A and B are shown apart, each in its own frame.
Chain A
Amino acid sequence: MARIEWRLLRVIAAKEFRERLRNRWVLAVALVFAVFALTIAYFGSAQQGMVGFHGIDVTIASLVSLVIYLVPLIALILGFDAIVGERERGSLDLLLSLPLTRAELLLGKFLGLSATLALSTVVGFGLAGVALAVQGQGTDALLHYAGFVLSAVLLGMSFLSMAVALSVITTDRARASGAAIALWFGFVLVFDLLLLGALVTVGDSPLGARVLPYLLLLNPADVFRVLNVFGFDSVKVFYGLATVFPDTLTSPWVLGGVMLAWIVLPLGFALWRFRQ
């Protein structure tokens, strides 16, 4: 197996990035994120009869659901045609005839798309962060917020990784987009419903209570939720869930590691299949 030439990764990543700056993808997504984030940060507590910016923990708790719905969707849209799109437009054979390896092509694309997504996310949610800073939140609160944005980027990368895997195993863009939508439904909507169902059915049994929380690790969206919601005592109380959660699961290091695995494993699978 040939050694990876980093220069080539950079060339491919830079082209992906520049294309999406050029077609205003980055701008459009950053705007969507910013508008939703500011709106939710401001009106998020309306149910409690208040509007305006509040404590950082409450704001983050309000934004978590937004991120879970929006970021995976955007990441899947961004990545589903990474390889299958090149295949369909006839440029994949051309790229593969060049002095570069399949690993370089795939990783270069992933890095470029990751940078694209990261920039949109940081700019979009960063604007809401600026609004919070102007409200006079302390340094600690802003660090928390930065951690939240970082974890949103990681969540996006995990879905991007799955999207790239889809784009390797599908034969045309239509199938790839269908599969991407199915993936979104599965992880963002269906998974939690199934888990809730299981909780109702077997949650009272000692085994069920012990096993169910770990099932959350099988879904990067839930890993993100746990990472951001159960990291803060005040929010834990707010969700009334403080007691059912094992401590190992609330360690940011464990959760961060699981999130990284959700980025690396689908990408590794994609690479393996792409080499066949």
Chain B
Amino acid sequence: MSAAVEVDKVTRRYGALRALDEVSLTIEQGELFGLIGHNGAGKTTLFKLMLGLLAPDAGTIRIHGQDIAGAAFREVRRGIGYVPESVVFYDHLSGAETLRYFADLKGAPRGEVPDALQRVGLSDAGARRVKTYSKGMRQRLGVAQALLGRPRLLFLDEPTSGLDPEGIHSVYRLLHELRDAGVTVVMTSHILSEIQERVDRVAILNRGHVQALGTLQRLREAVDLPLWLEAQVVPAAMDAVRAALTQLPVITQRDDGVRRLAVQVRREHKMAVLARLSLFDAQISDLHVREPTLEELFLGHEEAGQERRHGED
């Protein structure tokens, strides 16, 4: 079976600026893939190239094994759904009419419209004009539109921007449902804390390059940022715990002097430190490991990248 998206050495310039410089990545069928990066990192350009809205200056992009701008472009495009970051639909059409319009354009049966409305929780608002919709409802209508034609591949550009926590949660729930049903989901985000535990793999884009690509676990191992062990200690035992830690390979430790203690350790020393702390079973009421966040990883990568660049100079 072919991959959902294959990007092979793609370069795209705007004048002298290389928005993307020989970018390669493969997105497998059925994964939830996050594309992250700062504004101007190239993620919008990459998104537009994958959707066939822009043509690469060099390299190739294949969607389900085919060229999106080639002779079979209608067939390829029928297999994808796209949710733009912010889209203002037509004020004077109702939600259901809007979806019927897009169903007609996609060649999807109009019978899918009620189901699409239901999946995004707009069944009751389907007959109302879009003019009366809130921002969150418009966003959900955008998602419903992308589901028409039952595409195997979905692109979502910042799908949760401007949504309240409940809305964000329901978007991810839907994306996970789709992923579990075998749909490939590609999304961009710049809110790293939000995306980090919710996607299968990420690509971090920076200045037109793929800086890192893989599962969060792999990225964490690759960057090898230290972990934090955080413990709640009985106040009377604080000194003893502190003393025990000084004999261990910890990078730094800090505490509030009363009951909270945090220790930074390298990944390879995690088990040793945990083993030592477990001897204080009765004095430690809570202990947990905090992995570096995607944000920290991202910054770590950026620093690593800069060092590399300096090294090249």
Contact = CB atoms under 8 A, between A and B. Distances in A.
A223 B77 CA distance: 44
A22 B145 CA distance: 22
Given A11-B101, A99-B77, A23 B52 contact: no
Interface string B74-96: 11011010101111111111000
B53 A12 contact: no
Contacts, number: 64
Contacts of A91: 84, 87-89
Nearest to B93: A19
Contact of A90 (B53, B75, B77, B87): B87
A2 B53 contact: no
A94 interface: yes
B243 interface: no
B106 interface: yes
B84 A98 contact: no
B106 A99 contact: yes
B51 A100 contact: no
A210 interface: no
B107 interface: yes
A98 B105 contact: yes
A96 B145 CA distance: 14
Contact of B77 (A15, A89, A93, A98): A98
Interface string A10-25: 0110010011001100
B197 to A, nearest CB: 29
A93 B48 contact: yes
B101 A89 contact: no
Contacts of A212: none
A8 interface: yes
Contacts of B85: 90
A90 B86 contact: yes
A90 B83 CA distance: 10
Residue of B52, B73, B93, B107 with highest tally of chain A CB at under 10 A: B107
B102 interface: yes
A101 to B, nearest CB: 8
B281 interface: no
A100 B71 CA distance: 12
Contacts of A18: 93
A99 B76 CA distance: 8
Contact of A97 (B77, B101, B104): B77
B101 A94 contact: no
Contacts of A97: 51-53, 77, 80, 82, 155
Contacts of B87: 89-91, 94
B84 A90 contact: yes
A99 B72 CA distance: 10
Interface in B135-149: 142, 145
Contacts of A99: 73-75, 77-78, 105-107
Contact of B92 (A22, A90, A98): A22
Contacts of A98: 77, 102, 105-106
Given A90-B85, A90-B86, A90-B88, A12 B105 contact: yes
A244 B77 CA distance: 59
Contact of B51 (A2, A12, A89, A93): A93
B113 to A, nearest CB: 14
A94 B74 CA distance: 14
B105 A2 contact: no
Contacts of B74: 2, 99-100
Interface string A227-250: 000000000000000000000000
Given A8-B105, A11-B104, A94 B77 contact: no
B93 A94 contact: no
B101 to A, nearest CB: 5
Q: Which of A8, A23, A94 has the most CB of B within 10 A?
A: A94
A93 B91 CA distance: 18
A222 B226 CA distance: 78
Contacts of B90: 15, 19
Given A11-B104, A99-B73, A23 B92 contact: yes
Nearest to A23: B92
B105 A93 contact: no
A11 B97 CA distance: 12
B139 to A, nearest CB: 12
Contacts of A22: 92-93
Nearest to A108: B105
A18 B104 CA distance: 15
A39 B142 CA distance: 48
Interface in B117-174: 142, 145, 155
Nearest to B71: A2
19 contacts: A2-B71, A11-B101, A15-B90, A19-B92, A19-B93, A23-B92, A89-B88, A90-B84, A91-B88, A93-B53, A93-B82, A94-B145, A95-B105, A97-B53, A97-B77, A99-B74, A99-B77, A99-B107, A100-B105
Given A93-B48, A99-B75, 10 more contacts: A11-B105, A15-B93, A15-B101, A94-B84, A95-B105, A97-B77, A97-B155, A98-B105, A98-B106, A99-B107
Interface of B: 48, 51-53, 71, 73-75, 77-78, 80, 82, 84-93, 101-102, 104-107, 142, 145, 155
In the A-B complex, the 9 residue pairs with the smallest Cβ-Cβ separation, listed nearest first, are A89-B88, A99-B74, A99-B77, A90-B87, A11-B104, A97-B82, A22-B92, A23-B92, A97-B51
